[in-house]
Chain A
């Protein structure tokens, strides 16, 4: 089903993860178009957005779900530190993206309210980056 919808896009890599869910590797420039296409064709829920730091690059995962077909699809894309926001297509992306910005330092272009959500606003650094050093004074409580 998902393969058919994405037929017209080039340079896609279809794989399966260990749980046999479909994983599609996409180019970050096609993101908006692909997500819009999937939404129009029944993938009506954005379950989650997550990000992983692989030192040289950051991978962003979009978990989409279709309530009618009961199908899942995972989009993943490699970026350096900036990507287009998809909050105009799925409103839930607003907070998911803010969380990734907060913990990983990924800038989402055209996001309406990109600020820290879980950590205090004056926190320095991005904890889920692999080169993060946890030396904030607030982490010491039993000195």
Chain B
């Protein structure tokens, strides 16, 4: 009789394929994963505690750092929460600028995911293709607000900067070129037999499991859940835009890849419409009302906003107590739940399949740890 013994393997926290500093304690029987315990917290910066010691405006630049790959979404969620508490509406023009920026941000975030996921699988060249376009979008961001990643461009009641004619020309040119670039990726990735072998029918998230673990965003849509807070919100700035929401029912790594890819093309459609609409309201102001940042006090109220970020639902709960500092701010992010799912999802897979599963879930650790 042969005797089998469990092997405990520690992956991370400094592993290059774990998208930050995630530590996984994996128990192996041969090559099969028997249990997996994710350990997070290495990037914990105490974002929620910091909020208690800063005024509302002082906290604004911090919010972009909750998830540094998609900062616009976090600051959008925070700004809309404060706007609701103060009973102000951003101007229509500011809304269009916000949408243009957020959708560009979604594309950069998904391109980062595309490059890193394929790098995890051992394909080096897609990373360089993806970073080529990501670079040109980041240049647009830099020209708009002076920052490439942590933007600090939104403010309460609007945005801080207006778009210039030159910027719009550049953006329009880029949007025209983008679909061609996407075709290029699809040509080298989508039907690639090695890529399909490693992702098809691997890491299947069933619909019930996704609901149970509150998986949101593209991961949920790849499992057949029709959930997108761009349209499922009662009051959404996306309501006047026409776009599709790609949904797959397979729930494997390949479906998640297809959903994210289709999302990038939809984002381009939204940006195109937003630029057209922006041109019609060109003469509006970009900020509704300017506030004195020191004396901005918010009455004793609370609110919660729901934003569809690239990595799932970003929820921001703000509790005000009448002073110029927030009483409590809670950030709920998509990555936190995605990582929790990992402990069930990888069991029964081989160790080699761990990387495509981690890659396809698209989490980043700063967002989970906050």
Contacts and interface: CB of A to CB of B under 8 A. Distances in A.
B332 A70 contact: no
Contact of A52 (B234, B304, B306, B328): B328
Contacts of B41: 116-120
Contacts of B301: 17-18
Given A18-B84, A92-B214, A94-B340, A127 B46 contact: yes
B49 A128 contact: yes
Interface string A88-120: 001110110001000100000000000011111
A105 B82 CA distance: 28
Q: How large is the interface on A (under 10, 10 to 19, 20 to 34, 35 or more residues)?
A: 20 to 34
Contact of B330 (A21, A50, A120): A50
A90 B227 CA distance: 18
Nearest to A18: B303
Given A17-B301, A19-B304, A63 B84 contact: no
B187 to A, nearest CB: 35
Residue of A17, A116, A119, A120 with highest tally of chain B CB at under 10 A: A17
A74 interface: yes
A99 B340 CA distance: 12
Given A18-B85, A117-B41, A119-B41, A44 B303 contact: no
Main secondary structure, interface of A, reads loop
B327 A52 contact: yes
Contacts of A94: 340
Given A52-B319, A117-B40, A17 B303 contact: yes
B354 to A, nearest CB: 20
User: What secondary structure prevails in chain B residues at the interface with A?
Assistant: mixed
B312 to A, nearest CB: 10
A45 B210 CA distance: 9
B303 A47 contact: no
Interface size class of B (residues with CB under 8 A): 35 or more
B67 to A, nearest CB: 16
A47 B226 contact: no
Contacts of A90: 212, 214
B225 A67 contact: yes
Nearest to A69: B232
A47 B227 CA distance: 12
Contacts of A116: 41
A24 interface: no
Contacts of B317: 48, 50, 61
17 contacts: A17-B304, A19-B305, A21-B304, A46-B214, A47-B313, A47-B315, A48-B315, A52-B319, A53-B328, A63-B332, A67-B225, A67-B227, A72-B306, A92-B340, A119-B41, A128-B48, A134-B49
Q: Which 10 A-B pairs have the closest CB atoms?
A: A18-B303, A48-B332, A92-B214, A118-B41, A50-B330, A118-B44, A70-B232, A95-B340, A19-B303, A91-B212
Given A50-B332, A67-B211, A118-B41, 17 more contacts: A17-B303, A17-B304, A18-B301, A19-B305, A45-B214, A47-B306, A47-B313, A47-B315, A48-B317, A48-B332, A50-B317, A52-B319, A52-B328, A63-B304, A92-B340, A99-B336, A118-B44
